[in-house]
Structure 1
Amino acid sequence: VLIPEGKIALGKLSQAMMHGAEVIQIKGNFDDGMRLVQEVARAMPVTIVNSINPFRLQGQKTAAFEIIEALGDAPDYHALPVGNAGNITAHWIGYSESVCQQTAACAFCEGECTFHRQVNATRRPVMLGYQAAGSAPFLRGEMVRRPETVATAIRIGHPMSWQQAWKVKDESGGWFNECTDEEILHTQKLLAQTEGVFCEPASATSLAGVIKDLDAGKIREASTIVCTLTGHGLKDPDTAIAQSTRPITVEATRDAIEQVIGEHLAA
């Protein structure tokens, strides 16, 4: 596993290490890593399992099938955080297959739509891609040399599915938008406190973007909207701790505890 030094949340790093991966840190960013892993794959017997591999997208597309099965049809809008842009591409491939419509975003699309025969989908959704403001090449219309955001999972300045994602936008009638780190972190906390869903910052970008576009009147009222949350909050616990209330230390007495509770209730 090739990662940029100091740029991967510890929760994700620990997962890879516990599963026995050989982790190699490079002195560079995600985009440097992608360039290097492609060079290495051409010279050594390794397989790239990043979304640059079109077979990965064929696996990811099945998430769209599950959404259709759960809702009875495709939603009006589907919002996703966008970093490498593989996820938004894969979902669009799945939605296209569900209604047996070809898409230029699929490397294998030849009109063969196996899933179409198993569901009653009648439409494809408008696809919405949301990026962090400090790492938003789709908003800039060009690659970002030094992307920076608290949402580490989408801190990508050179998306591998760049061309496919633009096709998804055009075919679906969708758009890209960006959210500040402050908006992302606010939405992460909002999800945890109101819905009981603890996601990592990058995941919260989808809902943060939808809230922003609803307020701006870009999304139709009374629409069915799916927001994909791509990662659990424990993948990046440090960010969550940094924006949360610190534990209060008191003496091991009932009075001390009741005083803290009383102050909290009075606040």
Structure 2
Amino acid sequence: MKNVKHLQCINCGKTYPAEPGVYTCPDCGPADGILDVIYDYDYIAKNYSKDYFANNKNYSIWRYEPFLPVQPDGPKPTLRVGWSPLYRTKALAEAIGLENLYMKDDGQNPTASLKDRASAIAVAKAAEEKAPIIACSSTGNAASSLAGNAASIGIKTCIFVPGRAPQGKVAQLRIFGANVISVQGSYEDAFKLSAAAIERYGWYNRNAAINPYLVEGKKTVTLEICEQMNWQVPDWIVFSVGDGCTIAGAWKGYVDLYKAGFIDRLPKVAGVQAEGCAPLTKAFHSGKKFEPTEENTIADSIAVGVPRNAEKALRAVRESKGTFINVSDEEILAAMRLLGNTSGIFGEPAGVAGLAGLKKLVANGTIGKHETVVCAVTGNGLKDVNNAIKAAGEPIKVKPDLDELFSVLEGIPGLVS
């Protein structure tokens, strides 16, 4: 990989070759020794330009191979991951008090979440290493994305999910042929069991905070945003946050573009957590390391009480001079309705937590009405229909009787003139 220099520990700064089996810094350990992929930005700048992307007809994450740690001619999953739509949502912007708001709908990826980006990289790397089995722990979306992408090229998976994982996500896993271990405990319990099994059996490790390459997949969301905005950088990018990998990747996408000379400034980053599970928000505002917390929120995909990518996430927000904010489950449900009613985008609870946080940040003056904002919807609402019904309400039920129907219709404000 001519575009990659090495891997670097974010804790001690020691570097390691980008070789199979290198996941974390052995000196710092798996908890603190998280690695970054360091690129040769001079090589990228010399060999690639905006014209390269303008003429590239591969509308998937693989259009960004110059910024990805994969073999150019190596094996890749066949699902079309990436190039999800970026909408300028004027009605939604007006509803929350902004002039320029863009929503990135990553629920339109093949398995309906942003996690497809990371899993595509994981499967590509596993295929490069000829790994027969890939494993991970997940609250749901990472699991289904791994299972789908792996199935596309015939690699087996073993996936650990907490017992509270929504049935829609578990159904995806089983349809994709995954071996699913439902751990009757927390996400942390599932993570520990997956780590032990991976070590014992030598499976390829897709766990995002352990495997340094997965952040690289997630950063393609902001590479796309930048290109879709004609290389103009927004003032803010807003993401919901669980283990921290997604927001770390979102920031790294802009940093990589900046260092390679594609853009001349960087955005601020806002991270949004659920009140019932917000270790990173607390750590950010206290200036201390995160403390493990309970996982009490309907937003299962960000219910991570022990975030494994904490330092990368906190570093992203601090370096960008951004912020963290929490939202309640009620605010998340309200955001699901607001997003759907004003834009036609259907997001799951974790997928719209970012929008709920953005609404609060505009209301408290942290984000000004004249600033340009991009907010990501990280997962589709069909992932969790029970909470969607909770947000929107049950349908109106009538008997097959015209008199009853007309009576009901005429009682709905604004429906019948």
Q: Please identify, of 136-145 and 215-224, the stretch whose mean Cα deviation from structure 2 is larger.
A: 136-145
- Aligned residue in 1 for 2:121: none
Paired with 2:317 and 2:350, the residues of 1 have a C-alpha distance of 20
Change (3 A) 1:166 1:265: closer
More strand by share: 2
Match of 1:13 among 170, 180, 191: 170
Q: Is the 8 A contact 2:336 2:391 kept in 1?
A: no
Structure 2 counterpart SS, 1:263: coil
What's the counterpart of residue 238 of structure 2? 79
Corresponding pairs, count: 249
CA distance in 2, matches of 1:240, 1:175: 28
Q: Which residue of 1 aligns with 2:265?
A: 123
Letter in 1 for 2:233: A
Shift of 1:202: 0.9
Structure 2 match to 1:235: 383
Q: Deviations over 1:133-186 (max 9, x none)?
A: 010001222233322101111111111111111111221111111011111111
Alignment check: 8 A CA contact 2:268 2:322 kept: yes
Q: In structure 2, how many angstroms separate the alpha carbons of the residues matched to 1:233 and 1:177?
A: 22
Q: In the alignment, residue 76 of structure 1 is paired with which amino acid? A: D
Q: Distance in 2 between matches of 1:251 and 1:65?
A: 52
Gaps of 5+ in 1: 101-112
Deviation at 1:28, TM superposition (A): 1.2
- How far 1:245 moved relative to its partner? 2.9
Shift of 1:62: 1.3
Gaps of 5+ in 2: 1-158, 284-289
1:135–1:144 contact (8 Å) kept in structure 2: no
Matched, 1:190 2:338: yes
Q: 2:255 & 2:235 partners in 1: Cα distance?
A: 14
Matches within 5 A, 1:1-267: 1-5=159-163, 7-52=164-209, 53-72=211-230, 73-100=232-259, 113=260, 116=261, 120-141=262-283, 142-265=290-413
**Partner SS state of residue 99, structure 1:** helix
Give me the TM-score of the superposition, normalised by structure 1. 0.88
Higher RCO (C-alpha under 8 Å, 6+ residues apart): 1
| Cα distance in 2 between the residues matched to 1:71 and 1:12 | 32
Shift, 1:8, TM fit = 0.7
Q: Which amino acid aligns with 1:82?
A: V
Instruction: State TM-score, norm by structure 2.
Output: 0.58
For the 8 Å contact 1:129–1:175, the answer to whether it is kept is yes
Deviation at 1:266? 6.7
Looking at structure 2, the residues matched to 197 and 35 of structure 1 have their Cα atoms a distance apart, in angstroms, of 35
Q: 1:216 to 1:249 in 2, by over 3 A?
A: closer
Identity of aligned residues (%): 33
Please report how far the alpha carbon of residue 22 of structure 1 lies from its aligned counterpart in structure 2 after TM superposition.
0.8
Deviation readout 1:106-134 (Å, 9 max, x if unpaired)? xxxxxxx4xx4xxx422111011000001
Taking only aligned residues, the RMSD between alpha carbons, in angstroms, comes to 1.6
Task: Determine if contact 1:191/1:197 at 8 Å carries over to the other structure.
Answer: yes
Q: Which residue of 1 aligns with 2:119?
A: none
Q: What corresponds to 2:140 in structure 1?
A: none
Distance 1:260 1:56, change over 3 A: same
